[in-house]
Structure 1
Amino acid sequence: MPPEPAYQFRAVTEKDLPTIAGWLAEPHVAEWWGDPETEIAAIREHINSVSVEPLIVKLNGKPIAYLQSYDPHMEDDHPYADQPFGTLGVDLTIGVPELVGIGHGSAILQQFVGQLFTEGTPRVIIDPDPANGRAIRAYEKAGFRAFDTRTSIYGPALMMARDADEVN
């Protein structure tokens, strides 16, 4: 695992979409994401969304990952609206293949979730596919714990959470 690097998070812009599209075509990403054109169209819509915040994660000034946070209470009929008020959901994809599996995923989440807790978010959820063992291990390493399994319009999900009041 790399030493605790400081990651930078910035809003996605139209100029980032070709980079994200390239990441979506990588085999380690394509296995877990939908059709790249559909996904890019959704990310484009999120750029000006009030319910989803799409972000580029940078390491040493270079884009390495896509991260989004969302409020499940701001979308009608969101499958996770049963979570406590103030809960935010996150999704993370490391796009650069050679950076997968060496600790960046858990480190990015630890840093980002720590920032959310500092801002007052009480709970953060993440919902990997139950078959995505690599992601689940990274999320557990970042402090997330499984609490439910669900099937929604997004497919099967292992519901995992970190709560601010459990942070030491």
Structure 2
Amino acid sequence: MTTSEQYSFRKATLYDLPLLKAWRSTPHVRAWWDSDGTYNAADLDDPRVARWIVSFQERPFAFMQDYTVHGWADHHFIELPKGSRGIDQFIGDQEMLGIGHGSAFIGARMKALFQAGAPVIATDPNPANERAIAVYKKLGFKSSGSPQNTKWGLILPMFAMRKNEHR
């Protein structure tokens, strides 16, 4: 059994770029993330996005980002209330898949975002990513409408509301 206290989040740095590149080149991550997209110093400095290396008992195993949904004029979540955050993540270490870490660390980050005042947390998995959708539903996300084509690809919009109020 894992607890949220066993997870730590530290800001991704330039020193993490080789690790992120290696994780993004694995088949289970490439299935849902653009393997050609690499991060650079400007990405890490972008104030709209907080990028995290997630560790379990001090072992780095995942990447997570949360971002202001109002940071892009054409973002598909632009109509959410002020202070809303979007999230994306992947488990890079294949040994850590399928044993509960995803829902645990995402839940821990959601708790922190809600405590910091986010009224809504949004996510946008590919509609074919059944594993991710199941995890999000377990964490209280509800789908909001049909799949949409966006400049980031085909997405299923999902929202979690503070205090278990769902859209």
The alignment's TM-score, normalised by the length of structure 2, stands at 0.92
> Amino acid of the residue matched to residue 66 of structure 1?
F
- Partner residue in 2 for 1:4: 3
Matches of 1:46 and 1:122, distance apart in 2: 25
| 8 Å Cα contact 1:17/1:44 also seen in 2 | no
Regions of 4+ moved over 3 Å: none
Q: Rate the CA distance shift 1:126–1:55 in 2: closer, same or farther, 3 A.
A: same
> Amino acid of the residue matched to residue 155 of structure 2?
A
| SS of alignment partner, residue 81 of structure 2 | coil
User: What's the CA shift string for 1:96-155, capped at 9, x where partnerless?
Assistant: 001111111111111100011111111101110000001111111122111123210111
1:56 aligns with 2:53: yes
- Partner residue in 2 for 1:162: 160
- Partner residue in 2 for 1:125: 122
1:151 aligns with 2:158: no
| 8 Å Cα contact 2:2/2:104 also seen in 1 | no
- Partner residue in 2 for 1:82: 79
> Amino acid of the residue matched to residue 16 of structure 1?
D
Cα root mean square deviation, aligned: 1.4
1:14 aligns with 2:14: yes
Q: CA deviation at 1:45?
A: 2.6
> Amino acid of the residue matched to residue 10 of structure 2?
R
The alignment's TM-score, normalised by the length of structure 1, stands at 0.91
- Partner residue in 1 for 2:97: 100
| 8 Å Cα contact 1:46/1:53 also seen in 2 | no
| 8 Å Cα contact 1:103/1:138 also seen in 2 | no
Matches of 2:83 and 2:109, distance apart in 1: 16
| SS of alignment partner, residue 155 of structure 2 | strand
| 8 Å Cα contact 1:94/1:100 also seen in 2 | yes
- Unaligned 5+ residue runs, structure 2? none
Question: Which segment drifts farther, 56-65 or 77-86?
Answer: 77-86
| 8 Å Cα contact 1:7/1:57 also seen in 2 | yes
> Amino acid of the residue matched to residue 70 of structure 1?
Y
> Amino acid of the residue matched to residue 97 of structure 2?
V
Q: Rate the CA distance shift 1:50–1:136 in 2: closer, same or farther, 3 A.
A: same
> Amino acid of the residue matched to residue 11 of structure 1?
K
| 8 Å Cα contact 1:90/1:126 also seen in 2 | yes
| SS of alignment partner, residue 79 of structure 2 | coil
